[in-house]
Amino acid sequence: GGDGGDGDDNQIVAGTAPGFRPFEMNEDGELVGFDVDHLEAVVDETDYELTSWEEFEFDTLIQALNNGNIDVIAAAMTINDERREQIAFTDPYYSADQSVLVQTGGGFQPSDLDDLAGRTVGAQSGTTGEGIIEDEVEDPDYRSYENYVYAVEELEQGRIEAIVIDQPVAESFEANREVEIAFTFETGEEYGLGVRQDADDLREALNEGIAAVQESGEYEEITRKWFDE
């Protein structure tokens, strides 16, 4: 963290919340994913140096940033006004919608959010998926999880009936677990990197890095690596 004075002003620490394939996950004890490659490529385009990655539960990332434990959030975090009251975002780097996951062969086949009324529905704490359940599902029996991986385990066991989750991650769970996408609905969410509200220099540098990585073709390469396997 750049707390003023001398040489380490340009060193930054990144924070993320793994368990969100293909954006961030632990593989053989190593943190990998789209966000890891993307942020590293973006920072490479700047005068900053990324010294380490720290892992948190998703709903503690904003606090970790504002405490100074980390300097940038790279966690498939959707840019929205509620979060903008606490942190600043870079330009968007990825667009996503939301999907509803159900147990494969479980018999429950909802086709819209109305069909989730009164059902047992899960999401990761602090996510936009959680917000949708709270705001758009009538009288849900809402179950909050620290991590979507735990929610998917509960869904596989039939202990909950549905999960609301970002569509690219839903596709990954569908490919790897006993769950399937019932339907996808448009939210037009855009992911941004999160920085402290007073970190104007860092935010501007990251914006230039995001643009450079897109123009160089590196963005496309990273996308191909994590989405076409």
Interface positions with ligand ARG (CB under 6 A): 17, 20, 23-24, 58, 75-78, 124, 127-128, 166, 189
3-state secondary structure 9-67: HHEEEEEECCCECCCEEEECCEEECHHHHHHHHHHHCCCCEEEEEEECCHHHHHHHHHH
Minimum CB separation of residue 71 from ligand ARG in Å reads 17
Q: Which CB, 57 or 208, lies closer to ligand ARG?
A: 57
List the beta bridge partners of residue 14: 53, 72
Tokens of 142: 């809402």
Minimum CB separation of residue 100 from ligand ARG in Å reads 14
Minimum CB separation of residue 220 from ligand ARG in Å reads 21
Tokens of 43: 């920072």
Minimum CB separation of residue 65 from ligand ARG in Å reads 14
Minimum CB separation of residue 195 from ligand ARG in Å reads 15
Tell me the pairing of strands 25-27 and 194-195.
unpaired
Measure the CA–CA gap between 71 and 73, rounded to whole angstroms: 7
What Å distances lie between residue 225 and 23, 37, 219, CA to CA? 11, 10, 10
Q: Which CB, 90 or 124, lies closer to ligand ARG?
A: 124
Query: Amino acid letter at 147?
Result: N
Q: Which CB, 3 or 85, lies closer to ligand ARG?
A: 85
Contact 76, 35 (CB under 8 A): yes
Minimum CB separation of residue 136 from ligand ARG in Å reads 15
Minimum CB separation of residue 205 from ligand ARG in Å reads 23
Measure the CA–CA gap between 154 and 161, rounded to whole angstroms: 9
Measure the CA–CA gap between 56 and 30, rounded to whole angstroms: 15
